[in-house]
Structure 1
Amino acid sequence: MTKNKTRFFTALLISIITIICVIYLIAPNQSQPINHSIMVEHPTDQVSDNTTETFITPSQEHKTDLIEDTDNYQYCERLIKADFSDGYSWASDQYKSWERYLNQGYTLDEVTLVVEHFLNSNFAAEFRVEQLRLHSDLSNQNQQLNEELQRLLSQEQISGLKLEVVRALPAAGLIGYVSLTPSKKVTLLQQVTPSVDDIAYFIGQSEYSDLDIIELLNSVIKPDAIVGYDKFEAISLLDYAVISARVTVVEKLLQLGLKPSEDSYLGSTMEWALRELSRSTTPERRNASAKIVISLNNLGAKARFKTRSQSKIYGIFPRNSFSFNAKEIEGLIADYGLELTLIESRYNLFESKDNLLIDKGNELLVQLTHQQAEYLSKRLNIDNLKQQVTSCKLTVDTINRAWQPESSKKILRRVIAKHPQSPHQIELTLAAIEPSLVDCYLITSDSDRRQEQYLSDVDDLFQPLKNGKVLDVIDQFLSLNLTDQNKNWAFFEILMWDLSFYDELINSGLMVDELQYYSFNSRMLSPKSLDKLAQSGADLNGVDSRGKTLLYYAVHQSNLALLGYMTEKQFPFSLNDQGQDPLHAALDIIHYEFSPDKLVATVDILMGYSPLIDQFHLSRMALLKLKYVDVYRQVTAKYPQLKVQPETTLPKTLCGKSYLGYP
């Protein structure tokens, strides 16, 4: 390192260290990036290279109070979830030191596939690309910076901290290159040599033209060097140019001798090109991407395909995919003479966990599988865990197949098509089939749904709220040129500062659309918050635009304290005979918030309202009996009116917003 560079790094690091120390003294319990170049972390337990197993102290937190019974759906459901979540946690802990297996002589392909086997392809791709970048210029520069940092700081100064310094991109001398005159650009490039990482960064900046990139590229010493810049899981400058659909830059790189990449796990250059072509949303982007695919195809670049026919092209690679339907395939042939089916296929390293290109008897896979099994057996306190999990999966699958509901979406489409001009008739028809369908219909057809639109750069406007000056804040927002959606957003954001501001808000110009019960978040659905809202004049005893009371939404929170509070305060049960009532909602065992452990207590509270029991309550009870027979017995022992009758059938379907994907 030259004297000038040494002085530069020393000055830089002293400044960095000063900032780090000040921040660390102010907030010793935080672990936040300070800026794009410096990161401060509190280290977790480190695993040494010679570690062979990593056990967390086994606990009983997952041990169920149910009797071990692999024919019992509830027991099996808990066991399978615990086995998966704890197994995943074990593998996540291993992820901190997967590279030690490379040091033990295992190949990168082996370790990559083992990471995928125990975690998923995202983790595997991240691990693999990190290893491939280890010897990039950027990684070496970062290593030098961190070694310099270590020399400048004593062990006492860095105790309890993990400091990391990374080189900022682009290089300081290249900042603002795009705004220079042509002559100044030439002068600058005589003084500063761009790296492949600088070029990779600039390629992704839309304000830089292809000509700018090529001018910079002409000054790069090794354009085929490994890219350490981590915007994408790619290490070739050619891939970065392909991802940005810069056809001229791609052609230049090919002229410079760069070859299409074909890593055995990460996306190949052709796969990135097909991804970009399939995502093209403008004629210009489609044209550029198509030209790139043609150029790569002429060079014999390959891609992995899951499906390849005249009717469908589909392929996947870590975190990404590409897909073309018959019309798109034909369009590419007509417009560019590009026949996707003629692109050469390459071998798929990671097709599926059941088809790994790693022998099931692979030493590393066997070793870690044994360690994981031993860990899980101790953690869950079950000696024959593998046998139980296998039996339980069969039990759960068998019971699940006993109920084959019709698709809610298909029913909705069918009924809506039959009565296109009569929302009332649609609701009546759906209610006769299954009340949850009415709720889904109201969600999808809610044209009056309260719309919000985020406002940027207004954080300072909220500051007076710290002193309770809500009227000042409202006035500041009203002085802006706001849409109704902006006003709705500001209304809700101010309300979240303090729910007691509700009275001032509803009497202000920010009040556009009434706040609906369905938009109440978990913070608002609490006894303390509801008290505040009530004291501020909010009507909590009506229904929202979907005909639901607050009690209905509280049921899905599975919060017994909240339900008890609402009962005590005499919140209404249901004021609408269409759609689900709160008891229907409580008995919906496929809702993502359903908790069998809380159902008996929830039913206790709701039965206090003496609801009229209908066939849809009983059909849900039939499903409860099928899957959670112990809970069914407890409920019906207290409330015989909920017992399943001989004529009771399982629900025709169950529909909810979590299935439709609507808020």
Structure 2
Amino acid sequence: MKKYIVATLVVIAALYWFFQTPSINSPYSYDSIKTSQPPLSSSLQLDTEELHAKADSPNNYQSCILLIESNKNTRRDWANEQDWDQWLDKGYSIDDITLAIDHFSSQLHAANWRVKQLKFHSQLSKQNRELDEQAKQQFPEIYTDFVWERPVPQPSLKNITELSDDDAIALIQATGLTVDDVDWLLQQDSLSEALLFHAVNKLEDVNALLGDHIFAGENLHLIETAAANGQERVLNLLLTKNSELSNDPYLGTTMEYALAHLDYFFSFNKPLDDGAFARQVRIIKTLQALNSPANFTSQTEQQIAGHFPRNIYQFDAEQLAILQNEFELDLTQIVPKKSLAYDPNSPLIEELNTDLTQALAKQTSPAQLTQCQLLVENVNSQWQPHDLSYFSHKLIREGKQVNVANLNDIDPVLADCFSDTQRQRLPYRRSNNKSLNDAVYRLAKQKQIKKAIKMVENSQLEEAVNRDFFYQLLGYNPEYFTPLQLSQLRQETFDYNRIYRFSRKNITSLITQGLDIDKLDYEGRSLLDMAILNQDLTLLKYLVSHHISYPARANGRDPLYLLLDTNNYQFNPEHLLEYLSALMVLEPNIYPYHQRLMSLIRLKYPEIYTQITNQLPRLIVKDDTPLPPAVCHHN
């Protein structure tokens, strides 16, 4: 990760300042606008040979999902590795390349690249390139470890918000300001309008481009900053100085920044009689009179909605009526923006598509991918389950209580999902006494468990701390089970998640040491559940061979349900038959919800279904068996 330099180079000390700021990621964690090709990521890693083998006959839902995800990853990686600047040298325009990045990568990536190009000739960007070049000459060995730029704001202004208004104004009057310094000042809520007026009046050119730096936004001119921060009088001052309204066809216009700020007021219930609300409305009226445009996905009396990179604005019928009746502002009269139009047949798109097709062809053929996409779309179109929220509202509309029993009548997964929201977890707390911890666990390693237990007991710790010691110590040796259960650390009800976490390899030994194979834990889980949820076939076979009782539950998913649930992220169709063969020895009852799950397996994995039912005919389902109606939560 590059660092932002805090040093003053001797050869350029008279000209520029440097400051050190650690490199940071973008503060924006999501793209609120859907793009034509959004960025995608997946943790799935495919073996190339396995992928091709599966793709030869793409009739398996999971292999198709993996193939599609891998294809998306390849697209993403290809787009991220592109040197988009090179296309400028080949004669393509900034607009052409912006649309290409938007299509193949993401809107945010396109906006970032476009801003960098449009700000290329700004004063700050020129200075930063000069600093970068000089640093490259002066410090070749460490040059690449740093980013060299002029600080914004300049160091003398950094603490201006801590000064009195008079002192702050005096500082402004004594300081040579750049347009980027003034842009920063406009974003400081605590500074007075008088100070901001002094700052703006010091600029020779209010239309100067803002520079590209680590904290820079995507606005190009000061007037957008004023509109986005509700600075009405500053905006009017800029207009008297012949400030030009921004009208970029891809980035935000002046009007769009103003609308986004008004949307912010509505979203956080800003009182209508608040002066800031009225000022923002007047800003929009001013811009409307100057025909400042905005992008709209909807512009009717019922809804106004639009977006630009990183921002959205939307107003419902009630809000539009308030603006009309209280402020005489009609958003339907705003001029629509002429945005960039994507052309799939443009020369650049065609050239890039050719390159991308070649990259994807190394992985799979277009025919195979298309066949997989059709298979997945077919399954998804037939199976459209609803989640807990949907069925909870449905029960309320029917005058029924939202409880475990009623949800279980719909599907056991809903009962479990609801129980998880109501259940009180067992408290655990790690001891913060390092010397005690070290001594106890040293004794455990030395197989002196009785001394270790006595040391914990003598410390008179809280129950949550004792519980943590119990499972930690149990993880050292399964033979510690009995002495732990005979001590003050004894657990009346177990937590199988904890047991599996600390004693995964020793559970069978724990059973021989006295762990009741049929006992359920505090959440009602069976050891069978743990074996299935953790894909532990060895444990499952052991439990079955030792005649574990199949858990009888009035509500919630049983082990067979957990095994057949294709929506479980751990579901593995390739090993399903092996697990089923072991579990079905216990002869569990087959209920309608099990049959629904088998119906879904038949839809998603027809070959697997055939293999299962050939060996286990009890799991055959009728052709008209419905699919599962519910999932816990939609992904």
TM over 0.5: yes
* Percent identity of equivalent pairs: 28
Q: Does 1:63 align with 2:51?
A: yes
Matches of 1:566 and 1:259, distance apart in 2: 77
SS in structure 1 at match of 2:282? helix
Structure 2 match to 1:412: 392
CA contact (8 A) 1:315 1:321 kept: yes
Q: Does 1:214 align with 2:214?
A: no
Structure 1 match to 2:381: 401
2:74 to 60, 65, 86: 86
2:264 to 264, 271, 279: 279
Matches of 2:420 and 2:252, distance apart in 1: 40
Q: Does 1:366 align with 2:350?
A: yes
| 1:8 shift after superposition | 7.6
The verdict on how the C-alpha distance between 1:321 and 1:38 changes in structure 2, with shifts beyond 3 A counting, is closer
SS in structure 1 at match of 2:338? coil
SS in structure 2 at match of 1:250? helix
Matches of 1:392 and 1:411, distance apart in 2: 31
| 1:325 shift after superposition | 1.0
1:238 to 223, 227, 233: 223
Matches of 2:610 and 2:344, distance apart in 1: 45
CA contact (8 A) 2:55 2:67 kept: no
CA contact (8 A) 2:210 2:221 kept: yes
| 1:197 shift after superposition | 1.9
**Residues 310-334 of structure 1: per-residue CA shift (max 9 Å, x gap):** 1111112223211111111111111
- Aligned partner of 2:21: which letter? N
The verdict on how the C-alpha distance between 1:529 and 1:138 changes in structure 2, with shifts beyond 3 A counting, is farther
User: Higher mean Cα deviation, 272-281 or 629-638?
Assistant: 629-638
| 1:231 shift after superposition | 4.3
Structure 2 match to 1:508: none
Structure 2 match to 1:311: 302
5 Å matches for 1:97-136?
Answer: 97-136=83-122
CA contact (8 A) 2:293 2:335 kept: yes
5 Å matches for 1:468-617?
Answer: 468=437, 527=504, 542-543=520-521, 552=529, 574=551, 576-603=553-580, 606-607=583-584, 611-617=588-594
1:390 to 370, 377, 380: 370
Q: What is the count of residue pairs matched by the alignment?
A: 555
Alignment RMSD, CA only? Answer: 4.6
CA contact (8 A) 1:114 1:365 kept: yes
1:198 to 181, 184, 187: 181
Structure 1 match to 2:125: 139
User: Higher mean Cα deviation, 595-604 or 332-341?
Assistant: 595-604
2:235 to 250, 255, 261: 250
CA contact (8 A) 1:524 1:530 kept: no
| 1:336 shift after superposition | 0.8
CA contact (8 A) 1:196 1:237 kept: yes
| 1:86 shift after superposition | 1.3
Matches of 1:168 and 1:523, distance apart in 2: 53
- Aligned partner of 2:633: which letter? K
| 1:527 shift after superposition | 2.9
CA contact (8 A) 1:548 1:576 kept: no
Structure 2 match to 1:344: 335
CA contact (8 A) 1:273 1:293 kept: yes
**Residues 556-593 of structure 1: per-residue CA shift (max 9 Å, x gap):** 56676897899999999757431222432332223455
The verdict on how the C-alpha distance between 1:612 and 1:271 changes in structure 2, with shifts beyond 3 A counting, is same
CA contact (8 A) 2:385 2:631 kept: no
Matches of 2:619 and 2:493, distance apart in 1: 35
CA contact (8 A) 2:301 2:332 kept: yes
Matches of 1:526 and 1:12, distance apart in 2: 65
What 5-or-longer segments of structure 2 have no aligned partner?
A: 1-7, 26-45, 441-463, 476-491
Q: Does 1:657 align with 2:633?
A: yes
| 1:263 shift after superposition | 0.8
Matches of 1:297 and 1:526, distance apart in 2: 69
- Aligned partner of 2:283: which letter? I
**Residues 451-481 of structure 1: per-residue CA shift (max 9 Å, x gap):** 99xxxxxxxx99975995899xxxxxxxxxx
TM-score, L = length of structure 2: 0.74
Structure 1 match to 2:168: 185
What 5-or-longer segments of structure 1 have no aligned partner?
A: 17-33, 40-57, 350-356, 453-460, 472-490, 503-513
Matches of 2:547 and 2:123, distance apart in 1: 69
Matches of 1:328 and 1:501, distance apart in 2: 61
SS in structure 1 at match of 2:565? coil
CA contact (8 A) 2:303 2:315 kept: yes
Matches of 1:15 and 1:302, distance apart in 2: 39
The verdict on how the C-alpha distance between 1:258 and 1:462 changes in structure 2, with shifts beyond 3 A counting, is farther
Structure 1 match to 2:416: 439
Matches of 2:495 and 2:185, distance apart in 1: 48
| 1:277 shift after superposition | 1.2
TM-score, L = length of structure 1: 0.71
CA contact (8 A) 1:271 1:304 kept: yes
